[in-house]
Amino acid sequence: MIDLARYRSLYHTEAQRRLAEARAALECGDRGTVQRSFHTLRGMSLMLGFEEVGTRAGRLEEGLFRGELGEAELWSGLEELEEAVLLLASAGGGD
């Protein structure tokens, strides 16, 4: 039997790690690492059915890939993602 609570816990731990990684990389101007962090967060979120977080991360990843996002937009997007992950954790599950 699948232990969904365990998967949620692992997801939240890893999501927090990826967000912290993105924040640190953004502070250093390392857009490649920021993009990879968003890519990983997108994939793991969508795989577990957390559509809102996955979609937000995907938009940021695409914007970075296309060079369409400035510094302020990246910071704002990262903060929105952090809030969405916290909401997800406080709700105890999916979007």
Average of pLDDT values for 24-36?
97
Residue 67 has what pLDDT?
95
- Residue 31: is its pLDDT beyond 70? yes
* pTM, 2 dp: 0.89
Average of pLDDT values for 71-91?
93
DSSP-assigned letters across all residues of the chain: ---HHHHHHHHHHHHHHHHHHHHHHHHHT-HHHHHHHHHHHHHHHHHTT-HHHHHHHHHHHHHHHHT---HHHHHHHHHHHHHHHHHHHHHTS--
